[in-house]
């Protein structure tokens, strides 16, 4: 197989996986919208934006750096440092959300979103604090 064919095949896989990932995201959003209480959707959206912003801040390109520079004799060292830096920044980001997340969502006008932040809850992640009450009735004809 030529280099051009390998590049085209790789591009096809990249596009296909990107479309698949977006489709899963859309389906997940539709499922969440179906089961969330309409009043909680805004609060959940604020919490998601806060957490995704913290995630974005921690992405400094360590993964890309490891892919580009992590070859040859430096592979283990580059991979180790990229992993450590990613984990440390992730922990700092999670800690920042835990410390200032509640105050930040209150300033954003969604004080109920603090309950949606998993790191700010004192209880384990069980139950469904914002799910609709589903009632099923059986009718016999």
Instruction: Please state which of the ranges 5-19, 28-42, 67-81 shows the lowest mean pLDDT.
Output: 28-42
Tell whether the model's pLDDT for residue 138 goes beyond 70.
no
Tokens of 18: 């990107």
Tell whether the model's pLDDT for residue 118 goes beyond 70.
no
- How confident is residue 41, by pLDDT bands cut at 50, 70 and 90? confident
Please count the helices (runs of H) and the strands (runs of E) in the chain: 4, 0
Tell whether the model's pLDDT for residue 94 goes beyond 90.
no
Cα gap 97→81, rounded to integer Å: 24
User: In the prediction, which pLDDT does 20 show?
Assistant: 92
**Do the Cβ atoms of 85 and 61 come closer than 8 Å?**
no
Q: What string of DSSP letters covers 62-125?
A: HHHHHHHH--GGGHHHHHHHHHHHHHHHHHHHHHHHHHHHHHHHHHTT-GGGGGG-GGG-SS-S
Cα gap 57→38, rounded to integer Å: 30
pLDDT tens per residue, range 46-79:
877 887 888 887 878 888 888 888 888 888 998 8
Domain boundaries, the chain: 1-35, 37-120
Q: How many CB atoms lie within 10 A of CB 105?
A: 23
């Amino acid at each position: 197989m030529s280099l051009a064919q390998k590049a085209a095949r790789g591009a096809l896989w990249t596009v296909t996986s990107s479309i698949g990932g977006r489709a899963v995201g859309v389906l997940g959003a539709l499922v969440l919208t179906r089961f969330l209480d309409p009043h909680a959707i805004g609060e959940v959206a604020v919490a998601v934006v806060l957490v995704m912003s913290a995630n974005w801040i921690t992405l400094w390109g360590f993964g890309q750096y490891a892919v580009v520079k992590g070859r040859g004799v430096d592979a283990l060292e580059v991979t180790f440092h990229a992993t450590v830096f990613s984990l440390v920044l992730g922990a700092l980001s999670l800690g920042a959300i835990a410390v200032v997340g509640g105050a930040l969502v209150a300033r954003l006008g969604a004080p109920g979103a603090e309950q949606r932040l998993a790191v700010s809850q004192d209880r384990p992640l069980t139950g469904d604090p914002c799910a609709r009450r589903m009632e099923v009735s059986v009718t016999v004809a």
